[in-house]
Amino acid sequence: MTLSHHLLLRLLLLLGLLSLWHCSADSADPLGDFCNKDTKIGSEKASANIDHLLVELVSKASKNGFLATSYGSGQYLVYGLAQCRGDVGKEDCSTCIQDAAKQIRTRCPNEADARIWFDYCFLRYSNTDFIGEVDTGFGIYYYNVDNVTETERFNEELSKLMEKIRSQAVVPQNAGLGKGQTELTPFITLYALVQCTRDLSPLSCAQCLAIAVGNFPNFCENRKGCRVLYSSCYTRYELYPFFFPISSAQNFSSTQMMMVYP
Ligand SMILES: *[C@@H]1O[C@H](CO)[C@@H](O)[C@H](O)[C@H]1NC(C)=O
Ligand SMILES: *[C@@H]1O[C@H](CO)[C@@H](O)[C@H](O)[C@H]1NC(C)=O
């Protein structure tokens, strides 16, 4: 199935959510979630296994920034993954994963496949094995409502920067992270970051990022900022610093959110 075909099959839901978005967003506010309505938690035992899995994700991923694991057996087996963005410090990471584990169960009380996105971390669990698989079926897009003016130059520099950081992300010791910046003028700098989940092979990481960046024109054409959040990778660019170490004054940006369902 081609990408454009795939997109046509998706239901576009415009939440029309206009909000002020601070670049050091409070990690208590998730960017979005996905409760897969086709899945149900079928028993008390399955539910208890999810709780057990979440405890393990919180304790281990908070320390190492990543864990992909499973818990239980037979029909009660659950798989889980939690990961922080690679530039985020231990304390913010730990807070984020705790918030994610707390909120995912209240947001998706009945679903066996649940996912939650924050800027600093991502957490998911499922009763089917997803570990190591590229998943771009469900996506959340955030874009700045403002557009750039010099579109040709901007898009050229954006592609160059994206290409550079995508090649960093697939180097194994970078653990799926690529980040960088380009000075567009002496006063305007473009910042970008990509992050794959660490269970992916370099090839799968490259594939996920290619789909995310390939969707920039569909959702973020000429926008001053854009975020594409998938279950397997995260990409973002802004005209202000947003990744660590944050180099200068933090800024506000007006952002609109869109969710794309499979
Ligand atoms: C940016 O461009 C889009 C698409 O051309 C347009 O719909 C939108 O109104 C523009 N945003 C602003 C703030 O002018
Ligand atoms: C934030 O950005 C706007 C324009 O994008 C700029 O005018 C303003 O000075 C910036 N504020 C800070 C604190 O950097």
In a domain, 77, yes or no: yes
Residue 16 has pLDDT above 70, yes or no: no
Q: Are residues 144 and 251 in the same domain?
A: yes
Q: Are residues 67 and 89 in the same domain?
A: yes
Q: Are residues 13 and 99 in the same domain?
A: yes
Q: What is the average pLDDT across 176-203?
A: 97
Distance 250 CA to ligand 2 centre (A): 9
Per-residue confidence (pLDDT) for residue 260, from 0 to 100: 73
Residue 233 has pLDDT above 70, yes or no: yes
* CA distance to 38, 118, 233, per residue, from 132 (Å): 22, 21, 12
In a domain, 21, yes or no: yes
Per-residue confidence (pLDDT) for residue 253, from 0 to 100: 61
Count of domains in the chain? 2
In a domain, 111, yes or no: yes
pLDDT tens, position by position, 50-100: 999 999 999 999 999 999 999 999 999 999 999 999 999 999 999 999 999
Q: Are residues 193 and 230 in the same domain?
A: yes
More confident residue, 118 or 29: 118
In which band, very low, low, confident or very high, does the pLDDT at 202 lie, cut at 50, 70 and 90? very high
pLDDT tens, position by position, 141-180: 999 999 999 999 999 999 999 999 999 999 999 999 999 9
Q: In the chain, what's the furthest Cα-to-Cα distance?
A: 60
Low-confidence winner among 16-20, 26-30, 178-182 (lowest mean pLDDT): 16-20
Domain limits at 180? 139-260
Residue among 251, 252, 255 to mutate when testing ligand 2 (max atoms within 8 A of CB)? 251
Q: Are residues 117 and 12 in the same domain?
A: yes
Residue 247 has pLDDT above 80, yes or no: no
Q: Are residues 164 and 187 in the same domain?
A: yes
- Contact by Cβ (8 Å): 134, 232: yes
In a domain, 131, yes or no: no
Q: Are residues 118 and 168 in the same domain?
A: no
Which residues does a 6 A CB cutoff place in the pocket of ligand 1?
Answer: 145-147
CB atoms within 10 A of CB 244: 16
In 3-state terms, what secondary structure has residue 91? helix
CATH classification at residue 211: 3.30.430.20
Q: Give the nearest ligand 1 atom to 147 CA.
A: 1
Q: Give me the helix-helix angle, 202-214 and 151-169, nearest 10°.
A: 160
In a domain, 132, yes or no: no
